Amino acid sequence: MVEDRRVLIIDDEEDIREVARASLELVRGWQVITAASGRDGIAAARTQAPDAILLDVMMPDLDGPATLRALRGDPTTAHIPVVFLTAKVQAAERRNLLGLGATALIAKPFDPLGLADELARLLGW
């Protein structure tokens, strides 16, 4: 079930990054790149050309929405599907985040064993 996919995880919480990385690598065999901040994530997206980005909404300095705006404003990263990781799952918040140009949302806390399959389903992989 190994697929040739590269996913960038941008989250300021190391535990979340590591659990998500393990899930995507072990369940689907995807290559995973991680970044601990929005700025590092933007740089990684530019240089690593991921197939998708998992992006935390709440981060210090440059939050998820600001990071997404920067990604969408750069021709080298504008096309990359972005899925927000968020604890904010009310309908109004979901509409707002999707309205920013995100492809989908995954609620935190997520099921580590189901994360890769959920991401694949949301992205049509």
The model's pLDDT over 52-98, given as tens digits with 9 standing for 90+, comes to 999 999 999 999 999 999 999 999 999 999 999 998 778 888 899 89
Mean pLDDT (the chain, rounded)? 94
Q: How far apart are the first and last CA of the chain?
A: 12
pLDDT over 70 (residue 1): no
Architecture of the domain made up of 6-115: 3-Layer(aba) Sandwich (3.40)
Pairing of strands 104-107, 82-86: parallel
Percent of the chain clearing pLDDT 70 (strictly above): 98
For 88, the token pair is 């904010």
pLDDT over 90 (residue 2): no
Percent of the chain clearing pLDDT 90 (strictly above): 87
Nearest to residue 50, comparing CAs of 113, 123, 111? 123
pLDDT over 90 (residue 24): yes
22-29 long-range contacts, CB within 8 A, separation 24+: 22/112, 23/112, 23/113, 23/115, 23/116, 24/115, 24/116, 24/119, 27/1, 27/113, 27/115, 27/116, 27/117, 28/1, 28/2, 28/3, 28/116, 28/117, 28/120, 29/1, 29/2, 29/3
Rounded to whole angstroms, the Cα distance separating 60 from 38 reads 9
Q: Where are the domains of the chain?
A: 6-115
